[in-house]
Amino acid sequence: MFIPRAGTRGQAPLLIPHNRDSEETRPMDTAFFFIQLLNGLQYGLLLFLVACGLTLIFGIMGIINLAHGSFYMIGAYIAWSLASMTGNLALAILLGIPLTVLLGMLLEWLLFRYLYARDHLYQVLMTYGLILVFEELRSLVWGDDVHGVAVPALLAGSIPLTDNLSYPIYRLAISVICLVLAGGLYWLIQKTRLGMMIRAGSTNREMVQALGINIKLLYTLIFALGVALAAFAGMIAAPVSSVYPNMGAQVLIICFVVVVIGGIGSVWGALLASVLIGLTDTFGKVLLPEYAGVSTYLLMALVLLWRPEGLFKRI
């Protein structure tokens, strides 16, 4: 059985394995530093995709969703299995997104909407149960093996930085895609009417309804958005992290750290916190490898000492 515990991180490859490209280089020269910087950013931005759904769902619906990491795993497995069928990762992702949106809507409609009025304890119980269900289903459907997903041919190369250092294009592409999505999310939340409703819904549910807005539908959409973003993160991460059982657990724990640092319910806080965590974790592993496991938690402790409510207030 799987127990989400902070200590499990060392066993399987982390979200994205770091400094694989540069193990030989000890001195912290510019190119090496630059590579770590890109790695940290890319890791952080990917975390953001998962964490923003977690923080939105908590901030607006008040749900602590322990199963959120499972959506990351489900995304990765969907990408792997569709890519094996079609032979094309981009196509697999395009097919996978609507599937995960549907999954999100279905789960919200079947299960999560009954949790809104409930105590956090019930939420934790049900969503922890869901982790177990998802892991078992994953085992039944896809098995327990580790799978690799090929990087799309178009993005397969690397950019040479020095004689013996280079940076894979696919990782850059991940960062760019995440940044574009973060921009899209900013636009959605800050500039559209739907975004205004989402923000309003986080403060006064009854008033939103009294203005003629279907809050149940709004919640279903927000939940599905969160699920799809987490799953999408799993899909684009699959080629670099590979696809393996329990991959959601590690992401979940670090995403809770992100949400707490960023301020619960704050999307922009989550963005800043994700990048901070990404950089802390990456440079922590390089500079203080013996303390790598605690660097992010140390960051969390420091931020909370300074600002107990996290960096930002609610969306």
Residue 203 in contact with other proteins, rule: CB under 8 A = yes
Q: Is 242 left (phi over 0), alpha (psi -120 to 50) or beta?
A: left
**Could you say which of 164, 214, 288, 302 contacts other proteins (CB under 8 A)?**
214
Residue 16 in contact with other proteins, rule: CB under 8 A = no
Residue 155 in contact with other proteins, rule: CB under 8 A = no
DSSP-assigned letters across all residues of the chain: -----GGGGGTSPPSS--SGGGTT--S--HHHHHHHHHHHHHHHHHHHHHHHHHHHHHHHH----TTHHHHHHHHHHHHHHHHHHHS-HHHHHHHHHHHHHHHHHHHHHHTGGGTTTS-HHHHHHHHHHHHHHHHHHHHHHH-S--B--PPPGGG--EEE-SSS-EEEHHHHHHHHHHHHHHHHHHHHHHHSHHHHHHHHHTT-HHHHHHTT--HHHHHHHHHHHHHHHHHHHHHHHHHHH-B-TTHHHHHHHHHHHHHHHH-TT-HHHHHHHHHHHHHHHHHHHHH-GGGHHHHHHHHHHHHHHH-TT-SS---
Give the tokens for residue 280.
Answer: 């802390």
Please, which residue, 57 or 76, has the CB nearer to other proteins?
57
Work out how close the CB of 23 gets to other proteins at its nearest, in angstroms, rounded to a whole number. Answer: 47
Please, which residue, 124 or 200, has the CB nearer to other proteins?
200
**Could you say which of 150, 156, 176, 207 contacts other proteins (CB under 8 A)?**
207
* 131-158 burial: b if 16+ Cβ within 10 Å, else e: beebbeebeeebeeeebebebbeebeee
Stretch that binds other proteins, among 4-12, 116-124, 140-148, 196-204 (CB under 8 A): 196-204
Residue ranges in 40-79 that form contacts with other proteins under rule CB under 8 A:
none
Please, which residue, 208 or 252, has the CB nearer to other proteins?
208
Work out how close the CB of 59 gets to other proteins at its nearest, in angstroms, rounded to a whole number. Answer: 10
Cβ distance 209 to 33 under 8 Å?
Answer: no
Residue 199 in contact with other proteins, rule: CB under 8 A = yes
Please, which residue, 228 or 315, has the CB nearer to other proteins?
315
**Could you say which of 216, 301, 302, 307 contacts other proteins (CB under 8 A)?**
216
Please, which residue, 171 or 314, has the CB nearer to other proteins?
314
Residue 238 in contact with other proteins, rule: CB under 8 A = no
Residue 84 in contact with other proteins, rule: CB under 8 A = no
Residue 193 in contact with other proteins, rule: CB under 8 A = yes
Work out how close the CB of 186 gets to other proteins at its nearest, in angstroms, rounded to a whole number. Answer: 15
How many residues in the shown chain lie near other proteins by CB under 8 A? 20
Stretch that binds other proteins, among 50-58, 60-68, 191-199, 252-260 (CB under 8 A): 191-199
Work out how close the CB of 51 gets to other proteins at its nearest, in angstroms, rounded to a whole number. Answer: 20
**Could you say which of 85, 144, 204, 302 contacts other proteins (CB under 8 A)?**
204
**Chain contacts with other proteins (rule: CB under 8 A):** 193, 196-197, 199-200, 202-204, 206-207, 209-216, 314-315
